[in-house]
Amino acid sequence: MPGPGHILIICTANICRSPMAAALLRHFLAGQDEPLRSLKVVSAGIAARDNSPPSDYAVAAMKKVSIDLTGETSRTLTQELLDGALAVFCMTESHRAMIQLQFPRVPRHLYLFRQFLPPPVDPEVDDPYGGPLSVYEACRDNLVEAVPSIVQFLKTIVPPAPPTPT
C-alpha cells in the first residue's frame, strides 16, 4: 500500500491505460526537484482483478519509449487508496462518475488525466484494449502529451521542500 499523499491513476481494468500513465508520470517526476521527485505514483482499476499483468501491447508500446512495465500488476480501486491520494486522475468521465457514486469519501482533487491540457482537446483517454499495437502507441502518445500539464498542476498542490540550511 502506498503512503499518504500518493498520486493515483484510474482506468477500468488497470492493465493498459493507467499502468502506462503511472509509469510515464513516474518517469517525468524523476527529473523534477523535490518534493515532486519523491511522489509515489500508483494505479488502480474501477473493475480490476488484483495481480493481473499489463497487456502485452501496453508493455510493447512502453518499451518503445524505454519504460518497462513488466513488473507492474493490477489492483482494484479501494476507499483506502482514494483516502491516501493527494490527487486522482481518471481516464474518462465515466471513471470519475463511478468514483463519485461508489465511494462514500470522494477525493478533493479528482480529475481527468488530460483535463489540464488547453482546449480544444479531448480530456478523455480512449481504451486501447483489444486494438493493435498502433492503438496502444496512440494511447501512450495521448498520455505523454498530458504529463507536463499534470506536473504543472501538482506544483500548485504539493508544498515546496523546506529550504536547505546554509
Q: What percent of the chain lies above the pLDDT cut of 70?
A: 96
Three-state secondary structure call for residue 22: helix
Q: What letter represents residue 133's amino acid?
A: L
Is pLDDT at 1 greater than 50 in this prediction? no
Instruction: At 114, list the grid cell.
Output: 488530460
* Residue pLDDT, tens place only, 132-145: 999 999 999 999 99
Position 83 pLDDT exceeds 90:
yes
> pTM of the predicted model, to two decimals?
0.94
Is 105 catalytic? The answer is: no
Look up 26 and say whether it is catalytic: no
Which residue in the list 11, 16, 90, 139 is annotated as catalytic? 11
Buried b / exposed e over 62-83, threshold 16 CB at 10 Å, is beeeeeebeebebbebeeebbe
Query: What amino acid occupies position 134?
Result: S
Peptide bond into 118 cis (omega under 30): no
Give me the catalytic one of 16, 75, 83, 127: 127
Written as nine digits, the cell of 20 is 502506462
Task: Tell me the C-alpha distance between 21 and 144, whole Å.
Answer: 8
Contact 111, 87 (CB under 8 A): yes
Could you report the per-residue pLDDT of 14-64, keeping only the tens digit for each? Answer: 999 999 999 999 999 999 999 999 999 999 999 999 999 999 999 999 999
Ranking 5-9, 18-22, 50-54, 161-165 by mean pLDDT, the lowest is 161-165
Integer Cα distance of 39 and 151 in angstroms: 11
Instruction: Confirm whether 11 is a catalytic residue.
Output: yes
- Catalytic site residue from 17, 75, 96, 114: 17
The rounded distance, in Å, linking the Cα atoms of 52 and 75 is: 8
- Residue 81 in this model has a pLDDT that exceeds 60: yes
Q: Give the Cα separation of 58 and 136 in Å (integer).
A: 6
The answer to whether the beta carbons of residues 117 and 37 sit under 8 Å apart is no
